[in-house]
Amino acid sequence: MRHSTWLRLEASPFWYGVYRNYRRLPDGVRAPIRLLFAPQWHLAAALVRAASRRRIVAGPFQGMRMELSGLSSRHLLCYLLGSAEIELRDVIGRIVDRGYRTILNIGAADGYYAVGLAARSPGSHVEAFEALPAFHPIVERSAQANGVEGRVALRGACDAKALRHHLQMAASPSLVLMDIEGGEVELLDPGTVPQLRDVDILVETHDAFVPHVTETLIDRFQATHHIERHTARPRLLGDFPVDFLPTFKQWFPRLAVELMDERRTGLQQWLFLTAKSSDAKPRDPQH
């Protein structure tokens, strides 16, 4: 389903009710219905999955084999296209260059960052926290497919107690990478987790779910961290991978752009917080 179609459906109480009833049907029944009502979209998604051979074709994790949940494989082709969170490409490059020894990925979902950073940073150990157990076998398969299963540890939900514990145990330098749909306002609090003052943080903020959360986090960390603010932008045809399906991009430019849509609610922002306490510390010579 195109994102524009979903927004119209969500805005209509009648059609949203129909959709909720549709979701209760077995997947074997829903699959042909999906194809019937959005054939072009689902054929294009299948083409991307087949042509990529389920490997990311561009971006910082290019070449990584990525397993996807059923929903992501139908609607979040941005993962395989390498356009997911394209605004952060420079930040991810710097994260890889820094060579963090410990990365706490809180809200791992399909494992794009958990497995991707483990693959790109051979000296990093990744603690991947994901509250939904259905994602765990997906992340495990991706880690195994990329040969990093020994450096990706899967955990369940992360609360303040768990975050304190894992930061106490973490080898430095450490990074917290967080995407938990508004829960960041509770977890990223140096008053309850004082170790946060000395680690770097990349967090996706969700003002659409928790009003003013971005400004709240900036106020909390401006004394202890250098703060970068990144804002999402619309995808453009030029963002489509250059050498991937060039004929498709030429014939179906609008669909090519829509395949990169990340289906976000509201204005999306990220904060990259680098600890001031690490400014005077020499870099680990092993990294």
Q: Tell me the CATH number at 123.
A: 3.40.50.150
Give the model confidence (pLDDT) of 74-84 as tens digits: 889 999 999 99
Q: Tens digit of pLDDT per residue, the chain (287 long)? A: 555 555 565 566 665 566 566 556 566 655 566 555 667 888 999 999 999 999 999 999 999 999 999 889 888 999 999 999 999 999 999 999 999 999 999 999 999 999 999 999 999 999 999 999 999 999 999 999 999 999 999 999 999 999 999 999 999 999 999 999 889 999 999 999 999 999 999 999 999 889 999 999 999 999 999 999 999 999 999 999 999 999 999 999 999 999 998 877 778 899 999 999 877 555 554 44
Structural tokens at position 48: 């991307």
The radius of gyration of the chain's CA atoms, rounded to the nearest angstrom, is: 20
204 within domain boundaries: yes
Structural tokens at position 140: 């495990």
**In whole angstroms, how far apart are CA 189 and each of 122, 126, 183, 229?**
30, 21, 11, 18
Q: How many domains does the chain have?
A: 1
The amino acid sitting at 169 is M
C-beta separation of 66 from 55 below 8 A: yes
254 within domain boundaries: no
C-beta separation of 100 from 174 below 8 A: yes
The amino acid sitting at 262 is E
Give the model confidence (pLDDT) of 187-209 as tens digits: 999 999 999 999 999 999 999 88
Bridge-partner residues for 106, per DSSP?
Answer: 129, 178
261 within domain boundaries: no
Tell which residue, 160, 161, 96, 86, has the closest CA to residue 122. 96
Range(s) of the domain holding residue 283: 85-232+267-287
46 within domain boundaries: no
**In whole angstroms, how far apart are CA 148 and each of 64, 68, 125, 285?**
11, 17, 9, 23
